[in-house]
Chains A and B, each alone.
Chain A
Amino acid sequence: MVPIAYYLILAAILFSIGIAAFLIKRNVITIFMSIELMLNAVNLTFVAFSHMWHQVSGQIFVFFVMVVAAAEASVGLAIIIALFRVRQTLDVDQINLLKH
């Protein structure tokens, strides 16, 4: 018997670490990975609430989030490859064309 609140707090911890990694990391691939971490944390809250309400709709929402995350990962990594071809770097500090 684990309280649902513990699962939600675990998801909040993972989400906050994801935010921190998104802001601190300088490598564009790692930034992308921290977005996946945040998506996973939200998925955990969906599954926990689905368990709490005895309904399956939360799990189906997680299924759709997984599909969208897969599509997003493929397109985002293709963008990263195209970016690397043009700029020869993965450092977000050096990808600043719009600033100048």
Chain B
Amino acid sequence: MEIALFIIFGLLAVAGALNLLFQRHPINSALSLVVVMMSLAVLYWSLGAEFLAAAQVIVYAGAIMVLFVFVVMLLNAGEEDRTHGSRIAYIAGIPGAAAIFCLLSFVFLSERSHLGSTQIGGYLTSAVSNISEVSHALFTSLLLPFEVTSILILVAILGAVVLARKEL
């Protein structure tokens, strides 16, 4: 049953990513990226990361993609022109991406027996939930990095406000 879940949502994620690549209108690309993020949320849940599955839906599919769609609408972005693009991107880029994929797949498949397999319903031996595990680590040993991210968000807000002003 778990392999069926993985195959369905993995294929959905790959189809969404390919649709992002082949659609010419930015809105269509943005909506197919939402499909990718939703199916990745299901895969996170199947790996026992319930908190991240919720955060993926809320933060990525909810907040970041809404921001993208908002900007596409605001700038009235139409279909992109059928330019030839950069020649070096086609000559070096596509074979490079294919080579990276082949190399990674070869390494993962050859190390397959060492990597093991998943068990659905979490992996933790103790009876604590995933969220309490994450929050315990986040608020005790990693409290300083967690607080620093709030400063990062503050700087990002200020930067966005300054950059998007009328007179730059």
Does A associate with B in a complex? yes
Q: A7-B47, A44-B43, A59-B52 are in contact. Are A52 and B116 (CB under 8 A)?
A: yes
A82 in the interface, Cβ–Cβ < 8 Å?
Answer: yes
Chain A interface, >50% SS class = helix
Complexed CA–CA distance, A33 and B25 (Å)? 12
- A residues 47-87 near B (Cβ < 8 Å) are 47-48, 50-52, 54, 56-57, 59-60, 62-64, 66-75, 77-82, 84-86
A95 in the interface, Cβ–Cβ < 8 Å?
Answer: no
Contact call A64/B83, Cβ cutoff below 8 A: no
- A residues 1-39 near B (Cβ < 8 Å) are 1-10, 12-21, 23-27, 29-30, 32-34, 36-37
Contact call B156/A71, Cβ cutoff below 8 A: yes
Contact with A along B25-64 (1 / 0, CB 8 A): 0100110010011001001101111011001100110011
B144 in the interface, Cβ–Cβ < 8 Å?
Answer: no
Complexed CA–CA distance, A60 and B98 (Å)? 30
Complexed CA–CA distance, A60 and B80 (Å)? 38
Q: A26-B81, A78-B160, A81-B75 are in contact. Are A14 and B14 (CB under 8 A)?
A: yes
Q: How far is the CB of B117 from chain A (nearest CB, A)?
A: 5
Q: A33-B33, A51-B123, A81-B74 are in contact. Are A8 and B104 (CB under 8 A)?
A: yes
Q: How far is the CB of A57 from chain B (nearest CB, A)?
A: 7
Residues of A within 8 A of B (CB-CB), count: 70
Q: A2-B118, A77-B71 are in contact. Are A30 and B18 (CB under 8 A)?
A: no
Chain B residues within 8 Å of A47, by CB: 43-44, 47, 49, 52
Complexed CA–CA distance, A73 and B29 (Å)? 16
Contact call A54/B123, Cβ cutoff below 8 A: yes
B127 in the interface, Cβ–Cβ < 8 Å?
Answer: no
Contact call B71/A81, Cβ cutoff below 8 A: yes
Complexed CA–CA distance, A44 and B108 (Å)? 14
Q: How far is the CB of B46 from chain A (nearest CB, A)?
A: 8
- B residues 86-108 near A (Cβ < 8 Å) are 86, 89-90, 93-94, 96-98, 100-101, 104-105, 108
Q: A10-B13, A52-B115, A62-B52 are in contact. Are A1 and B71 (CB under 8 A)?
A: no
Residue of A nearest to B71 (CB): A77
Q: A16-B100, A19-B96, A67-B149 are in contact. Are A74 and B156 (CB under 8 A)?
A: yes
Between-chain CB contacts (< 8 Å), 15 pairs: A3-B116, A8-B108, A10-B10, A17-B14, A17-B97, A19-B100, A23-B86, A33-B68, A47-B43, A47-B49, A57-B137, A60-B137, A69-B64, A70-B59, A78-B162
